[in-house]
Structure 1
Amino acid sequence: MFATHNDVWAEPLAAPEGTDSYWSYHRWPAEVVGIVAFGAADAAPPVVVVKWSDGLLVALHAERGDIAWTTRVQTKDSDEYWGRRTGTRTVYGDETLFSLYSARSGSSPVVISSGDTKVDAFDPISGRQLWSVDLPTCHGVDWTGEQVFATILCSDGVHTIHLYDAGTGRPAGTWVPPWLSASSTSAERSWIRWLTACRTESSECQGFQVRREETWRIHADGSVAKEPVVSSDIDDRIAGDVVVRRTDGRLTGLRRDTGDQMWQIPLDSRRVIAADAGTVYLLTSANDLACVDGRTGTVRATVQLPGAGWNAYSMYVTDGFVVIERVNPDARERDGDRSYYYGSRPVVLATC
């Protein structure tokens, strides 16, 4: 799946440069602001749901590209296309459109759209609206847990997580850091969170981190519990029941429930690291993709990636597929796309 400002399209999985797309969908002047995908489930076909800057939500049959359903939703003032030439930040970043996919969450699939003051949830197959929640204007970042929708609201000047059941929209609880008090500073009241163990960037996240030493897990019922293993770095990754940590040239796997060390291996890696339910993915110093078994630390495979003189700007992992966005070594954010990205096809898709 690919996107630019006004287009969404699909290509064959291992398409060489110049291959025609399976299908494409174009709108103008509206811009693509969010994309989520749902695989086939039971008799339901795979679906791609696209959110546009004018508030149109369009569901496309993933295999054919024809429209399954459309509806209108509220947008955010910040809704615009952020993907530059490759579209990866928009396709995989899900900052305004979120999913719960039944294969992982154990519940019916749900697509959730977040606006400035309203959140709407739909059945991605039929387009039937499941629920709607009004939110105050002081409404911050959103994401989904494995069976809840989470949003940060400003309550009496304190950032507070509000949780809603993803299937019904019913309130499932609230949470603030336990160390906050009446004497907390303004900066402490405006605490920042980092998401952990997400299926995509902000969807189906098992938990979140506040400060660098506190990791919390959101359970299916909306309750929040502190993870037993203290994380000292936001670069820790969770691979199933293993916490993966990088320290002093080593990669270490720790039991998630006790913190006991399970394995340790030398780390020949650049900064980029990602994980899914059972595998840790490392970009080696030679720009090869090393796939490490999360439970044993064994390198299961090393995938040679094309080209050598590039850096990885981002790496996304979903269901065993790894997407790497490549930039030139001296690339700067303000550079134009021609000098910023590596080669004519800067996005690499790999699997172990």
Structure 2
Amino acid sequence: MIAAVLVVAAVAVITYRVLAPAEVLTPARADYPAPVSAATGVVGTLASAPLIVDRRLRIYATTRQVRADAPVDARTRRTPYWSFRRWPAELIGVVAGGTTVVSRWSDGDLVALDARTGRIRWRADGPPPGHGYDGRRTGASTNYTPAGLIPATGRGGRTVLVLIGGSGLRGLDLTDGRELWRVDIDGSCRAGALTTTAGQLVTVDACASPQVAEFHDVETGRLVNRWRPEDAGPELGLVPIGCGNGASNCPAMRTTSGGNSRGWLVDRGEPAPIPVLDAAEVVLDGDVALTPSGNELVARSVRSGAELWRRTGPVPARIVAVQPGRVHLLTDAHELITLDATTGAQRSSFPLVAGDEVVPWRPGFAYASDGFVAIERVARAAPSDAADAQFYAAGQPVILAAT
């Protein structure tokens, strides 16, 4: 009897140690790396989609871990510079502001790490997002389009982290995690969200009839405006345009309703209609609206609509990413072409080929920052619900290039 009790106790202890909530923080043990300016061309391939921070680190997201490696131009993923792992919570999203890397977890916790050291800078409770990790093998959506986690810059210059969850909206100071404001509403009624360069959070009240866009000041949470286009139908969608990573600090947006779309500048508060942004294929870089059409790319002033330049290439190319001053095009033959967004001058052009074995592929998530471009290679014929082994075109699905 005593032996049986001891066995049960031992099993209980082991089970607790295995399944109990736990965190493992492995801080940096090396000096903070120097910024990198890589030679133009393909850098290498990666198993995970990198978020570039401070031109020095690559941040990766997996189911229960956020980790960094360096240098940015390493051909493959390196031994972690630092890492942070939690159990059993799952990673929901990652954003960065300066040298602060904020992770959001399925239990609602927010943990901010110092990119330079990997140590915890602050942590805070947040509304549980109601779902787990959804980044597939590469973590691209977790790094590039984190749901309900949007940085913003307020009118007074404060950097604010906006949270959207089951209990509503919250604004935290990104530097120290202090809660600045809270709006208690039904988070399930929020559809679409972005922050603007005018210091506002825009969401759609999907429970209103007809649906309406709400504008909140990101520093105070104050409701500034309830607005909808005059010709919109009962449902209303929002598409961020010209933003930073994800839907952060957007100068413009596109509303969709009843099969129609309209472009608006939101950099001065009240939405201003901009017809040059109406079409779904138009992208924005600063004050330049870029419209692809077959093998032609036309750049126009976003405010006047005047044509700035026009490029006609030998073959059609699609816009896969933009970053300040650069627009990146990809042809069907996988040639990556980078143009100066202001003048149309070609900065670089090279085959986006790494020499590894791949099946015919199409671009998935694409990300551009600090002169680098990272693109997921998705099997051309793979349906969206395919298992990862069939969905991606290579064992190292992400190709990284310097432009």
- Give the structure-1-normalised TM-score: 0.88
Moved more, 230-239 or 48-57: 230-239
- Residue identity in the other structure for 2:85: H
Q: 1:248 to 1:232 in 2, by over 3 A?
A: farther
Deviation at 1:161, TM superposition (A): 1.1
Residue 264 (structure 2) pairs with residue 216 (structure 1): yes
Q: Which runs of 4+ in 1 moved over 4 A?
A: none
Q: 1:292 to 1:56 in 2, by over 3 A?
A: same
Deviation at 1:262, TM superposition (A): 1.4
Residue 172 (structure 2) pairs with residue 122 (structure 1): yes
Deviation at 1:117, TM superposition (A): 2.9
- Residue identity in the other structure for 1:166: V
- Residue identity in the other structure for 2:387: G
Please say which structure displays the higher CA radius of gyration: 2
Q: Which residue of 2 aligns with 1:207?
A: 252
Deviation at 1:156, TM superposition (A): 4.0
Q: Does structure 2 retain, via aligned residues, the 8 Å contact 1:213–1:231?
A: no
Counterparts of 1:178-327 in structure 2, within 5 Å, are 178-180=230-232, 188-211=233-256, 212-220=260-268, 222-227=269-274, 229-267=275-313, 268-307=315-354, 309-327=360-378
Q: Does structure 2 retain, via aligned residues, the 8 Å contact 1:194–1:234?
A: no
Q: In structure 1, how many angstroms separate the alpha carbons of the residues matched to 2:133 and 2:385?
A: 16
Q: Which residue of 2 aligns with 1:31?
A: 90
Q: Which residue of 2 aligns with 1:166?
A: 218
Count of residues in correspondence between the two structures: 334
Q: In structure 1, how many angstroms separate the alpha carbons of the residues matched to 2:211 and 2:367?
A: 28
Deviation at 1:101, TM superposition (A): 5.2
* Superimposed CA distance per residue, residues 261-300 of structure 1 (whole angstroms, 9 cap, x where no aligned partner): 1111124444443223322111133323211111211111
Deviation at 1:343, TM superposition (A): 2.4
- Give the structure-2-normalised TM-score: 0.77
Q: Does structure 2 retain, via aligned residues, the 8 Å contact 1:201–1:316?
A: no
- Residue identity in the other structure for 2:397: P
Question: Counterpart of 1:315 in 2: which secondary structure?
Answer: strand
Q: Does structure 1 retain, via aligned residues, the 8 Å contact 2:204–2:238?
A: no
Identity %: 31
- Residue identity in the other structure for 2:267: H
Question: Counterpart of 1:230 in 2: which secondary structure?
Answer: helix
Q: Does structure 1 retain, via aligned residues, the 8 Å contact 2:192–2:237?
A: no
- Residue identity in the other structure for 2:330: L
* Superimposed CA distance per residue, residues 145-195 of structure 1 (whole angstroms, 9 cap, x where no aligned partner): 121111111464111111111112122212111114xxxxxxx21122221
Deviation at 1:119, TM superposition (A): 1.4
Residue 369 (structure 2) pairs with residue 336 (structure 1): no
Q: In structure 1, how many angstroms separate the alpha carbons of the residues matched to 2:179 and 2:286?
A: 32
Q: 1:172 to 1:155 in 2, by over 3 A?
A: same
